[in-house]
Structure 1
Amino acid sequence: MIDSLASATDTEVAAAAALAGAEVVRARYGRLHSRVDKGSGDFATDVDLAAEEAILDVIRAARPGDAVHGEEGGRQGAAGAEREWLVDPLCGTLNYASGAQLVAVNVVLRNGPAAVADPFSGEVFLTDGQSARVRSGARGDERPLAPTADTRLVDVNLDPPFPSAPGFRAVDLLAHPGFVENFRPRVVSTTLALAWVAAGRRAAYVTDGGDLSGSVHFAAGIALCRAAGCVVTGVDGAPVGSGEPGGRGLVAAADAGTHELLMSMIGGRERNSRSGRNTRNGRNG
């Protein structure tokens, strides 16, 4: 199969690579795994490493002139390569190591096609940059992704650190009266949730952070959401990955109304925090 990918589209290469990683993740599930400490409570397992190698095998065979940036192995390939693949071989390592099946395998060509594979459902979410679809079943049946906010479920990433604090922490949304009235929180701790927003299984996804457009964790999910027609910005409302100031963190919503409602809660929190800081600074001055 790998040999035949030389003539395949970049979208199919992304899908094949993500599925290769997903097969490793699925096959080794439930075993005792060795851990590689990354510091600050973060770690990788032997499965992360093996899945990344399986993904790289596909990309190297299909696109030998491209560079690859993997979460575990860093950047590899020709230094002057014009194209770069971003790879997160096991998004949700802590879930996986604890026996939970909420994980994803993310592969994306920077500013191009992307694939997010769910190792346990067998689904792979795809985009060629223009449209988005999900492939599932033994026959590889496909259907377009259709975001909708009907579930009213919003995934909120609660993992520290919180670089936008005290102006904004995603965890603060859970105590906002407007959030409780309009949405129900979910925490899956994996960017599989971004694929679910694109597929209409979640109304939105919110996380703190810097510019996530070039992140091995988030880039594939962002590409899916954009291609599916979701509204995607930073928590400050700025475009993500535009090179403009701002664009930190991520709010990916199924529609403009959901995005506007979430931003009203986030923006209000930030304004109140800034006002409080200014008042305190005035008193102390």
Structure 2
Amino acid sequence: MPQTSPLLTVMIAAARKASRSLVRDFGEVENLQVSRKGPADFVSSADHKAEQTLFEELSRVRPGYGFLMEERGNVEGTDKTNRWIVDPLDGTLNFLHGLPHFAISIALEREGVLIAGVVYNVIRDELFWAEKGVGAFLNDKRIRVAARNDMKEAVFATGSPWVGRPGHEVFLREMERVMAVSAGVRRWGAASLDLCYVAAGRFDGFWERNLSPWDVAAGAVIVREAGGLVKELDGGDFLKTGAVVAGNEKLLPQLTKTVRGA
């Protein structure tokens, strides 16, 4: 693996430690205690265990940093300039159905700017990581966004609203429009990995609405350091609105225009 900074070393170590309990629980997924926290929005004991590990490890090595976490919410730190944005299990629904496509996502926001991201696909042992100004990597290999510039040759990723959430009709219109002008659309159920797949050139672009900051913060750093762009679909701040579009310099404007047209 290329030489990582002390910051990335801390983030990667925390992700790997938290992954151990996820691997164990994934092997016994039928025995997990699962509660519902909203329509089609599940939280398992695995989420809580992984988040606790991440909270403890990151707090130990960087005391005073704040947190924004899926289960804990916003945790104020004494250091107001640094905040971890953490999803201990992105793709919970996949996890609970025995589908091996989920990840741990950790980002660091410093003075309002995302500066580092780690997304760890636990089952495939694929570690995506990036630091501002350093580049993006998959394990020990440098990654770049794909160079395609024709929508007809491109494959895009997206996510659909779950039952009980608004936006189904808009999503279906968006999907119809993108499918009509592209090689294909995939819906794999983990936004952090969708963004990393854009960074690695596996997908050519990604869009989704109603996401949370922990879904996209780390992936956004990785896409940008891989030479791609990540923006808000309607021009605002995607960490606040949750409406995200990503791709290379040529395809992102085309994808954005197509989706907005819906």
Band of TM-score, shorter chain: 0.7 to 0.9
Give 1:61 deviation, angstroms: 1.7
Contact 1:125-1:195 within 8 A present in 2 as well: yes
Q: d(CA) in 2 for partners of 1:50 and 1:174?
A: 36
Q: Distance in 1 between matches of 2:24 and 2:147?
A: 34
The answer to which structure, 1 or 2, has the higher relative contact order (CA under 8 A, 6+ apart) is 2
Secondary structure at 2:146's aligned position in 1? coil
Q: Does 1:47 align with 2:46?
A: yes
**What residue number does 2:25 align with?**
28
Distance 1:21 1:72 in 2: 15
In the TM superposition, what is the alpha-carbon distance from 1:162 to its structure 2 partner?
4.0
What pairs with 1:85-234 in structure 2 (closer than 5 Å)?
A: 85-110=84-109, 111-136=114-139, 142-148=140-146, 150=148, 152-160=154-162, 161-162=165-166, 169-176=170-177, 179-191=179-191, 192-209=193-210, 215-234=213-232
Which residue does 2:16 correspond to in 1?
19
How far apart, in 2, do the equivalents of 1:173 and 1:183 lie?
Answer: 15
Write the letter of the residue equivalent to 1:159: P
Residue 241 (structure 1) shift: 5.0
State the number of aligned residues. Answer: 245
TM-score (norm 2): 0.84
Q: Which residue of 2 aligns with 1:275?
A: none
CA contact 1:108–1:115 (8 Å) conserved in 2: yes
The residue number in structure 2 matching 1:251 is: 245
Which portions of structure 1, spanning 4 or more consecutive aligned residues, are displaced by more than 4 angstroms? Answer: none
Q: Secondary structure at the match of 1:188?
A: coil
Higher Rg of the two aligned structures: 1
Mapped partners of 1:21, 1:158: distance in 2? 28
CA distance in 1, matches of 2:189, 2:249: 24
Paired-residue identity, %: 22
Taking the aligned partners of 1:261 and 1:75, their CA distance within structure 2 comes to 35
Partner of 1:273: none
Check the 8 A contact 1:105/1:119 in 2, yes or no. Answer: yes
- Cα-to-partner distance string for 1:91-130 (whole Å, 9 max, x where unaligned): 0101100110110110111122110000011111111122
How far the C-alpha of 1:216 sits from its partner, in A, is: 1.3
Judge conservation of contact 1:17–1:107 (CA < 8 Å) in 2.
Answer: no
| Deviation by residue 1:202-239 (Cα, 9 ceiling, x = unmatched) | 111110127x5xx1121111111122221221222x15
Tell me, yes or no, if structure 1 residue 58 matches structure 2 residue 90.
Answer: no
Residues 9, 242 of structure 1: alpha-carbon distance in 2 compared, 3 angstrom cutoff: same
Please report how far the alpha carbon of residue 242 of structure 1 lies from its aligned counterpart in structure 2 after TM superposition. 8.9
2:49 & 2:98 partners in 1: Cα distance?
18
Deviation, structure 1 residue 79: 5.3
Query: Matched residues in 2 for 1:143 and 1:157: separation?
Result: 28
Would the alpha carbon gap of residues 174 and 78 (structure 1) be closer, same or farther in structure 2, given more than 3 Å must change?
A: closer
Q: 1:257/1:133 Cα in 2 relative to 1: closer, same or farther (>3 Å)?
A: closer
Greater share of strand: 2
Which residue identity does 1:133 align to in structure 2? A
Cα 1:22–1:134 shift into 2, 3 Å: farther
Name the Cα RMSD after superposition.
2.3
CA contact (8 A) 2:33 2:44 kept: yes
Q: Quick check: 2:232–2:238 contact (8 Å CA) kept in 1?
A: no
Query: Structure 1 CA distance, aligned partners of 2:118 and 2:51?
Result: 14
